[in-house]
Amino acid sequence: MADDGSLDPDQIDEWLAHVAPDEPEASEPRRVDPFVVFGVVLGIVILLGMILLRPTGASQAQSDDLAALGIPTDFHRATVLNVSERSCAGLESLICTVIRFEVTEGPDEGFVFVQEFPPSVTMPVLAPSDRVVPSRVTPSGTVNAVVTGPCSFDTETRCDSIELTIDDGEGGREATFEVFPDDEAGVFAVGDEVIVDFMYDSDRLEILSVRPADPQSLYQFADIDRRMVLIVVAVAFGLVVVALGGWRGATALIGLAISVTILLMFVLPAILDGRSPVLVAVFGSAAIAYVAMYLAHGINRMTTIALVGMTAALVLTALLSSIVVAAARFTGFAVEETSLLTFFEGIDVSGLLLAGIVLGAAGALDDVTITQASTVWELQEANPSLDRKGRFRGALRVGRDHIASMVNTLLLAYAGASLPLLVLFIVAHQSLGTIANSEVVAVEIVRTLVGSIGLVAAVPLTTWLAARFYHADGEPAA
């Protein structure tokens, strides 16, 4: 203080410096996690791939083609009214089981049809009130005219020449079919809908048979109605998952529903449209993993690292599968059902086999990669003093154990699917080399080995990424 009682300027500055709060330092802008950016870019790439490979609607035409060939594509529920036994029609020495069914839904609801089953190990064991699913064949032709005249193969014999419009899946086609009037008198009339069995021989339409399309001939027993059992099991599964996993379990179920939707709405229709089955399988699997992993494990660095490892291993599996399938000269027709695909143009059967290998490996890759990334996070949380090498070595030890069990799991899964065929080979006293060389078994061997190579590659890659980039940006663990 000065002699005149006023404050000294130096003292004022000192006092202000003492009581005034320090000015906050300018905070550095928060850095964007590069893995978040990569996750967004990967999602955009997957979305663009799905748009380019999107279905065009041709798969509906394939369904129409199946119906035109007389293959059932329409199914409705029915109930068993009664079951009885009697001599088989045309073979009285055998006793057949006769079952009356009542259709409970569809265009013929309330209609009762009867079906006779000869004695066989495949004959369904049914009782009154059992629920079943019969197939319904859609009429594939319309009678335009019926003309009686000399038969084409014998001018002295008279035939009924039936002029038809056949729905061949391509807008309809006119054709003529001859029947003996003595056998089919009065059966066909103008305007009647009929069931036409036909085929193409060198682009020439050949009619095999023409049958009246009365409801009795339209319906055939297909299978037992198991949908209620499936619903109960699905509900029980959902309750168990939510009870144990809580909110994370619920998000996993949502991811499962989205996965099924992608398979039914993108993968299968796109393959039926003639798109490359391998590309469709890769992008479809990547989309399923992208949605399911982020929903189940959250949007964070750990999940993104697992997704990167899974995508890289998936591409490797697709490349290896392409090489091995080409070298082994697999036709894709080892399974009986694939023979039906020869009726349709644009479906790559061998590519379909490749797609199955990729899709089969995708689920296991999802499991392995998220496990490895999560192991690194848990090891670091349990022991914060671990360095990068310590994290990698510890998680890799877990990965080795996981791979050892996963390979065996894949083998048993594929062997279980082919068990009836393997039993048949053993009964036929085939050698192990002969069994392995058959395409049906060789395909499963390739699935196991190529899928296992992808799994083995995914473990060190995902573990290294997780160990290398854990907390790399200084942010807390998710």
3-state secondary structure of 298: coil
Residue among 39, 33, 37 at smallest CA distance from 472: 33
More confident residue, 258 or 59: 258
pLDDT of residue 478: 40
Flag the least confident range among 36-50, 304-318, 414-428, 458-472. Answer: 414-428
How many whole angstroms from its chain centre is CA 182? 51
Range of lowest pLDDT (23-37, 182-196, 395-409): 23-37
DSSP 117: E
Dist. CA 2–CA 323, nearest whole Å = 95
> How many whole angstroms separate alpha carbon 371 and alpha carbon 153?
73
Query: What's the confidence (pLDDT) of residue 477?
Result: 41
What confidence score (pLDDT) does residue 101 get?
93
Instruction: Count other C-beta atoms under 10 Å from residue 127's C-beta.
Output: 9
Asked if pLDDT for residue 4 goes beyond 60, the answer is: no
In whole angstroms, give the CA distance from residue 161 to residue 312. Answer: 64
Give SS3 for 113: strand
- Cα–Cα distance for residue pair 360/309, rounded to 1 Å: 17
| Segment among 105-114, 136-145, 180-189, 290-299 with least mean pLDDT | 180-189
**Closest to 315 measured CA to CA, from 281, 265, 351:** 281
The closest of 375, 371, 331 to 354, measured between CA atoms, is 331
d(CA 375, CA 398): 8
Higher local confidence (pLDDT), 3 or 189: 189
Cα–Cα distance, 55 to 53 (Å, whole number)? 7
Return the higher-pLDDT residue of 109 and 208: 109
Using an 8 Å Cβ cutoff, are 348 and 276 in contact?
Answer: yes
Of residues 474 and 32, the one with the higher pLDDT is 32
How far is residue 386's CA from residue 393's CA, in Å, rounded to a whole number?
A: 10
Mean pLDDT score of the chain: 78
Q: What is the mean pLDDT of residues 413-430?
A: 71
Kindly state the percentage of the chain with pLDDT values over 70: 79
pLDDT of residue 57: 67
At residue 59, the pLDDT reads 55
Least-confidence region, from 59-63, 378-382, 423-427: 59-63
> pLDDT grade, residue 70 (50/70/90)?
low
- Residues 267-271 have a mean pLDDT of 84
The whole-number average pLDDT for the span 172-201 is 70
Element housing 218 (H / E): helix 215-218
- State pLDDT tens for residues 351-391: 788 888 888 888 788 888 998 898 898 888 888 888 888 88
Report the predicted TM-score, pTM, of the whole model to 2 decimal places: 0.69
Kindly state the average pLDDT of the residues 272-292: 86
Q: Supply the DSSP string of 336-385, one letter for each residue.
A: GGGGGGGGSTT--HHHHHHHHHHHHHHHHHHHHHHHHHHHHHHHHHH-TT
Range from 74-78, 103-107, 281-285, 334-338 carrying the lowest mean pLDDT: 334-338
Lowest-confidence range among 69-78, 365-374, 455-464?
Answer: 69-78
pLDDT 10s digits, 293-341? 888 888 888 888 999 899 899 889 888 888 888 888 887 776 666 666 6
pLDDT at 297: 81
What is the rounded average pLDDT of the residues 157-178? 75
pLDDT at 178: 78
Least reliable range by pLDDT among 139-148, 431-440, 448-457: 431-440
The mean pLDDT value for 2-27 works out to 54
Banded model confidence at residue 471, pLDDT cuts 50, 70, 90: low
Q: How far is CA 198 from CA 108, 176, 219, in A?
A: 25, 12, 19
Whether the per-residue pLDDT at 200 is higher than 70: the answer is no
Confirm if 289 and 458 have CB atoms less than 8 A apart.
no
Reported in sequence order, the residue ranges of 137-246 that DSSP labels E, i.e. its strands, are 141-150, 158-166, 173-179, 193-201, 204-212, 219-224
Distance CA 317, CA 324 (A): 10
Look at residues 34, 449, 36, 42 and name the one whose alpha carbon lies nearest to residue 282: 42
- Look at residue 155 and tell me whether its pLDDT is greater than 60: yes
